[in-house]
Amino acid sequence: MTNKASIDKALQEKWSAEVDIEIPFHDVDLLAIAWHGHYVRYFEIARCALFDKMDYNYKQMEASGFAWPVIDLHVRYVQPSEFQQIIRVKATLIECEYRLKVKYLVTDAATGKRLTKGHTVQVAVDMEKQEMCLASPKILFDKVGVPYAF
Q: Say if residue 68's pLDDT is above 90.
A: yes
In a domain? residue 111: yes
pLDDT value for 1 = 45
pLDDT tens for residues 20-33? 999 999 999 999 99
Q: Say if residue 127's pLDDT is above 50.
A: yes
Mean residue pLDDT of the chain comes to 93
Name the pLDDT band for 4 (thresholds 50, 70, 90): low
Number of domains in the chain: 1
**What's the CATH code of the domain at 34?**
3.10.129.10
In a domain? residue 150: no
pLDDT value for 9 = 75
Q: Are strands 114-122 and 86-95 parallel, antiparallel or unpaired?
A: unpaired
In a domain? residue 31: yes
Q: Say if residue 12's pLDDT is above 70.
A: yes
**Host domain of residue 104:** 4-144
